[in-house]
Amino acid sequence: MIIIDKRMQTLKEGVDPEIGLNVADLNMIKKVNSDDKKIEVRMVLTTPFCPLAGFLVKEVKKKVRAIAEGREVDVVVLDEPWIPPERFRRLENIPMSQAQESTLMG
């Protein structure tokens, strides 16, 4: 059985090329479910209609497959806003939509 730490460490190798940071630290990975037959990664994108969505899904799937021990790997993109972790909100290169700002501000 794969432990959660190993899965998240593997996901840290998947980098968002637009931002240059990994998908785990960017809080894009919302949940990882696994059983004896399948690993499912549930993630969000940094922007709606992200032009790199296909690339990111393919990268996450590739990284998880490397540790999947023969199990099926599925990546589900959730339809919910991405909210950057607090430690990254201060970086100038992370855009925040008005919707995300209003969510953060209450």
Q: What is the CATH number of the domain that holds 45?
A: 3.30.300.130
- Residue 2 CB contacts under 8 Å (≥ 6 apart), including other chains: 34, 39, 67, 68, 69
Range of the domain at 88: 4-105
- Judge whether 14 and 29 are in contact, CB under 8 Å: no
Residue 90 clears pLDDT 80, i.e. is over it: no
pLDDT band at residue 76 under the 50/70/90 scheme:
very high
Question: Radius of gyration (Cα) for the chain, nearest Å?
Answer: 14
- Dihedral sign, Cα of residue 31, residue 14, residue 25, residue 9: positive
Residue 71 has pLDDT above 50, yes or no: yes
At 19 the pLDDT is: 64
pLDDT value at residue 2: 42
Contact indicator for 28, 82 with CB cutoff of 8 Å:
yes
Counting the structural domains of the chain, the total is 1
What pLDDT shows up at residue 98? 46
13-66 pLDDT, tens per residue? 555 556 666 788 888 899 999 899 999 999 999 888 888 899 999 999 998 998
